[in-house]
Structure 1
């Protein structure tokens, strides 16, 4: 049951990869929680009650969500551009990337016999 692997197929998503539920909201959520954590840390540093000035917590949380969304968007743009450059290079140099046949671990690894 070995299939042939084309290098260009590895860099394209033909609808076979579905993102998980948390993948689009993970970075904004994590940065929002980090923003609230920064507000708590600032209050702790100034020896105030950690949840005093709740507007500061809300503001830092909203700023964190915005920063997380921005960084997520920039990362997606970078990854898309990188994949496009790699795909273009493979298209221009097909001799450097021959089509290979897939192997299973059983075909690659040597048999192992325990010595007792």
Structure 2
């Protein structure tokens, strides 16, 4: 069985990444690749609708796909910054109000599940 990081015991630990979780390799290129691919397909579809060969004007495909990939990178960076700032605000609020966020209580499935009673 795979061994992962231990489960968090406090709400603050949910919002902190102490180097336990590494970002997957694919995540670095997912946004730019997605933007570039959809733009490439969009240019092909636009050529098809104007009754031109699908790959006509290949320079247009290359330039627009590259530009879209750069825009995708900026969107990914902006989103990562926004989420980091949001987590920092939430973490700060939890640190200021510890009484509102008690530590988690570990429960077993036997405590959570209710007995099953068939309906007849």
**TM bucket normalised to smaller:** 0.7 to 0.9
Q: TM-score, with normalisation over the residues of structure 2?
A: 0.85
One of 27, 32, 37 as aligned partner of 1:33:
37
The normalised TM-score by structure 1 is 0.88
How far the C-alpha of 1:113 sits from its partner, in A, is 6.5
Cα RMSD after superposing both structures: 1.9
Post-superposition Cα deviations, 1:6-57, rounded to whole Å, max 9, x if no partner, equal 1100000011112222111101111110110121121112110111110011
Judge conservation of contact 1:6–1:99 (CA < 8 Å) in 2. yes
Quick one: higher RCO (CA 8 Å, sep 6+), 1 or 2?
1
CA contact (8 A) 2:8 2:14 kept: no
Offset of 1:103 from its aligned partner? Answer: 2.0
* Unaligned residue ranges in structure 1 (runs of 5+): none
Distance in 1 between the 2:8 and 2:88 partners?
Answer: 22
Secondary structure at 2:28 match in 1: coil
Query: Conserved in 1, the CA contact under 8 Å of 2:32 and 2:71?
Result: yes
> Deviation at 1:60?
1.4
The match for 1:79 is 83
Q: How many residues align?
A: 114
